[in-house]
A and B are shown apart, each in its own frame.
Chain A
């Protein structure tokens, strides 16, 4: 059974860096593209970007200057780093598998940006 699990600090201070990990089990991370999506409280879904095991990335234009995504094939997980966060970055962050649509999602992790 394929599962995705996001993890990271639930609280980040403004101007600091948000770091999240998505652990993938049940399938090799090298087999798919992997996407990060976020959802501010009470709002809709926002595409953050995708990453492939080769290092290929595609970032949302609105976040590109602050964003880094990577894959660790030895641990079968992917990472997201978002720098200089503000309250506008408060959201539930999801990782998802891209297979003709996002066919598998993690449960999401809430990140709150606050001092």
Chain B
């Protein structure tokens, strides 16, 4: 059971907008820790995609946008493309665990 909760799967058609939620609590996202999102294409290592309140890493298109409110965070992907089909993970820290890193369980994005 992950500390951060993500939906197991989401889907959308090319060109559409999808959002992936990441639900935490007052000891992690709600404690104002940074939230980061990673994209993992099949058979490859995760890649830092976007973070709340920080610049997007070089090379990541601005179709990916991260936000947070209260104890939850979201990743929005606009103009969905076939190459976006991947697993997505949110990551933060948790004060109840001594500030340790915590990950969401991951969300599989399917482009229809």
Q: Which residues of A contact B (CB under 8 A)?
A: 35, 44-47, 50, 58, 60-61, 94, 100-108
Q: A44-B105, A100-B54 are in contact. Are A105 and B98 (CB under 8 A)?
A: no
Chain A nearest CB, measured from B48 CB (Å): 5
Q: Find out whether the CB atom of B57 lies under 8 angstroms from the CB atom of A47.
A: no
Which of the listed residues B51, B97, B101, B102 has the most CB atoms from chain A within 10 Å of its own CB? B101
Sort A-B residue pairs by CB-CB distance and give the 5 closest, nearest first. Answer: A101-B36, A47-B101, A105-B45, A44-B106, A45-B103
Asked if B91 is an interface residue, CB under 8 A from chain A, the answer is: yes
Q: In the complex, what distance in Å separates the CA atom of A54 from the CA atom of B108? A: 38
- Residues 58-93 of chain B: 1 if any A CB is under 8 Å from the residue's CB, otherwise 0? 000000000000000000000000000000010100
Select from chain A the residue with minimum beta-carbon distance to B37: A101
